[in-house]
């Protein structure tokens, strides 16, 4: 359904991206932000699903500055290798690359952002720092608690798994205390990190379905032309 193309960031860096188009006129545009595994099959599938919901979806390849065209699966070795990209993340560079994706979608109407894992944190930061968004959704963003003093400028929805080994419930409580007035926050019982991805061992079908339904309803509410 989708195609590869090139984005140009404000510092003139060119990065790859995947774009999926709806079958009819777009309801708006959605930036889809990757996990640490690159713009892989799962992220492209998310773009395709959003296109099926009527949105133009773009997933920028945020690791292109370090290793062009990187994508990974979910085996233990692949997970260990992918973690090198976030050992010392350049958040400012990623924000520039995300802004380029936002800007290219503006012609399609209102623009939202949705991110997973690392991308969940980026979606939260984008809601606070970037321009041109109407809504933001973050799934299991591990660094949101550390950045919870940031205030989203647009409606923001966050999803967490109760059994997430990398995001303790104490972090979620911090986020609720600091961001509860600015964000819708949902916690899914028995769900682990990565519960939305049906290619991971931690996939939780029940949680994924509820979270997706909430996400689509949130987009419909906050992306009206």
Residues annotated catalytic, as ranges: 117, 164, 193
| Pair type for strands 29-33 and 56-60 | parallel
Ramachandran area for residue 109 (φ above 0: left; ψ -120 to 50: alpha; else beta): left
Q: Which residues, 6 or more positions from 172, have their beta carbon under 8 angstroms from its beta carbon?
A: 145, 160, 185, 187
Which residue in 187, 149, 185, 182 sits closest to 168, CA to CA? 187
Residue 142 CB neighbour total at 10 angstroms: 18
């Amino acid at each position: 359904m989708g195609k590869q193309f090139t984005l140009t960031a404000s510092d003139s860096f060119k990065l790859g991206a995947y774009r999926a188009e709806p079958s009819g006129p777009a309801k708006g545009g959605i930036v889809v932000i990757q996990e640490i595994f690159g713009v892989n099959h799962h992220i492209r599938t998310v773009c395709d699903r959003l296109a099926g919901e009527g949105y133009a979806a773009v997933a920028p390849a945020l690791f292109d500055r370090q290793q062009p065209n990187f994508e990974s699966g979910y085996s233990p070795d692949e997970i260990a290798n992918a973690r090198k990209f976030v050992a010392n993340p350049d958040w400012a560079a990623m924000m520039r690359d995300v802004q380029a994706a936002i800007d290219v979608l503006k012609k399609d109407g209102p623009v939202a952002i949705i991110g997973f894992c690392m991308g969940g944190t980026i979606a939260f930061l984008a809601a606070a720092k970037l321009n041109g968004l109407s809504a933001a959704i973050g799934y299991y963003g591990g660094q949101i608690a550390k950045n919870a003093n940031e205030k989203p400028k647009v409606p923001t929805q966050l999803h967490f798994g109760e059994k997430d080994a990398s995001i303790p419930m104490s972090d979620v409580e911090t986020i609720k205390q600091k961001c509860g007035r600015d964000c819708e926050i949902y916690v899914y019982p028995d769900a682990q990190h990565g519960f939305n991805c049906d290619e991971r061992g931690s996939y939780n079908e029940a949680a994924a379905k509820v979270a997706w339904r909430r996400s689509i309803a949130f987009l419909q509410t906050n992306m009206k032309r």
